[in-house]
């Protein structure tokens, strides 16, 4: 199984509510997958600053004095705001890759969850309500966001195996299903220099889309070609800095329901996830067609 929710706001007035709406939607999907949960939120854009979400299993040790350590290693000033096992590092945009490189050497126990201008990713093992509470997701505002609750099939129940996966700046992907050609595709992508952290099938899907976009595809084109190159079952929901997309494999046995009003576009693995959204009674509600790419942009 696995449960997916997504919300892409058209109405700016709803932006302060994004975190609480997504949390409510995700908690409703708990019984589709209680192993681990995660959420990606696209927040406010800060000029020329990059955001990096990092995670550590020993946050007290790793995050204390981290700004000084980064300054010493790279000469870059970073600001750190910690949330439980995660922290958001903010730095000058052009210093982000140097900081990432340096973290890999000086703090191997720190994992980078996402980088970009606006994306933040929080994910941990546990129930959606507990994970959302740990990171105070319901207080977060933003333009769009994606949540996932996992029932593991293809790799272990760990923080790094939880969704969303981010393999490129401001990109993320969540997945319900299982890919059957992920091992061969991972080898191919790694040979092409794509960095893949885990043995998880979904991360390969995310890395595939990033790789396609690096080669010049738009997100929509990358999703189209995933229908040819990925084998297995999938309902994907993806986010970019200003976009939100959905695609299902041609068999389409993994469920999906969408709703659209003047205020938002919403995705749920089941209609239950959407029932508390404002104006849902009048929304256009439909099931996305198999092998069809849906995409919205701000």
Partner 1 sequence: MQSFDLEAQGLRELNATLHAQADDTNQTAWEIDNPKGAHAIAVGLDAPIEVTVKGSTGYYCAGMNQQATVNVTGSAGPGVAENMMSGKVVIEGDASQYAGATGHGGLLVIKGNASSRCGISMKGINIVVHGNIGHMSGFMAQSGNMVVCGDAGDALGDSCYEARFFVRGSVKSLGADCEEKEMRPEHIEILKELLAEAECDAKPEEFKRYGSARNLYNFDVDNAAAY
Active site residues: 2
Min separation Cβ 5 and partner 1, Å: 13
Nearer to partner 1, 211 or 264 (CB): 264
Nearer to partner 1, 27 or 103 (CB): 27
| 126 alpha-carbon distance from chain centroid | 17
DSSP 219-246: HHHHHHHHHHH--EEEEEEEE-SSEEEE
130 lines the binding site for partner 1 (CB under 8 A): no
227 lines the binding site for partner 1 (CB under 8 A): no
Interface pick for partner 1 out of 253, 282, 297, 298 (rule CB under 8 A): 253
Report the alpha-carbon distance of residue 183 to residue 167 in Å, rounded.
Answer: 17
Among the listed ranges 43-51, 114-122, 190-198, 247-255, the one in contact with partner 1 (CB under 8 A) is: 247-255
Report the alpha-carbon distance of residue 268 to residue 276 in Å, rounded.
Answer: 12
| 101 alpha-carbon distance from chain centroid | 22
# of chain residues touching partner 1 (CB under 8 A): 16
Among the listed ranges 73-81, 134-142, 160-168, 248-256, the one in contact with partner 1 (CB under 8 A) is: 248-256
List the alpha helices (DSSP H) in the chain: 18-28, 59-63, 66-74, 96-106, 128-134, 182-191, 201-214, 219-229
Min separation Cβ 268 and partner 1, Å: 9
Please, which of residues 254-293 interact with partner 1 by CB under 8 A?
A: 255, 257, 270-275, 285-287, 290
In sign, the C-alpha dihedral spanning 24, 26, 31, 34 is negative
Which residues contact partner 1 by CB under 8 A? Answer: 250-253, 255, 257, 270-275, 285-287, 290
């Amino acid at each position: 199984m696995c449960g997916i929710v997504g919300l892409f706001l058209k109405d700016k007035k709803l932006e302060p509510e994004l975190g609480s709406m997504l949390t409510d939607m995700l908690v409703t999907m708990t019984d589709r997958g209680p192993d681990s949960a995660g959420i990606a939120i696209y927040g406010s854009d800060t000029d020329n600053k990059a955001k990096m979400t990092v995670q550590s299993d020993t946050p007290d040790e790793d995050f204390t004095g981290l700004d000084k350590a980064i300054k010493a290693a790279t000469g870059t000033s970073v600001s750190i705001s910690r949330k439980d096992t995660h922290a958001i590092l903010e730095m000058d945009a052009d210093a982000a890759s140097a900081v990432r490189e340096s973290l890999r050497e000086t703090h191997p126990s720190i994992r980078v969850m996402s980088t970009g201008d606006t994306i933040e990713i929080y994910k941990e093992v546990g129930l959606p309500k507990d994970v959302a509470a740990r990171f105070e997701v319901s207080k977060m505002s933003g333009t769009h966001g994606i949540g996932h609750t996992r029932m593991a099939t293809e790799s272990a129940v760990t923080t790094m195996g939880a969704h969303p996966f981010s393999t490129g700046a401001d990109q993320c992907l969540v997945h319900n299903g299982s890919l059957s050609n992920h091992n061969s595709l991972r080898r191919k992508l790694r040979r092409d220099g794509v960095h893949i952290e885990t043995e998880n099938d979904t991360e390969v899907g995310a890395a595939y889309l990033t790789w396609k976009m690096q080669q010049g595809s738009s997100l929509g084109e990358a999703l189209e070609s995933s229908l040819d190159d990925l084998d297995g079952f999938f309902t994907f929901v993806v986010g970019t800095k200003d976009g939100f997309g959905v695609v299902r494999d041609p068999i389409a046995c993994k469920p999906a329901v969408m709703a659209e009003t003047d205020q938002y576009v919403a995705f749920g693995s089941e209609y239950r996830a959407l029932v508390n959204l404002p104006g849902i009674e009048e929304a256009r509600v439909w099931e996305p067609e198999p092998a069809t790419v849906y995409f919205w942009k701000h």
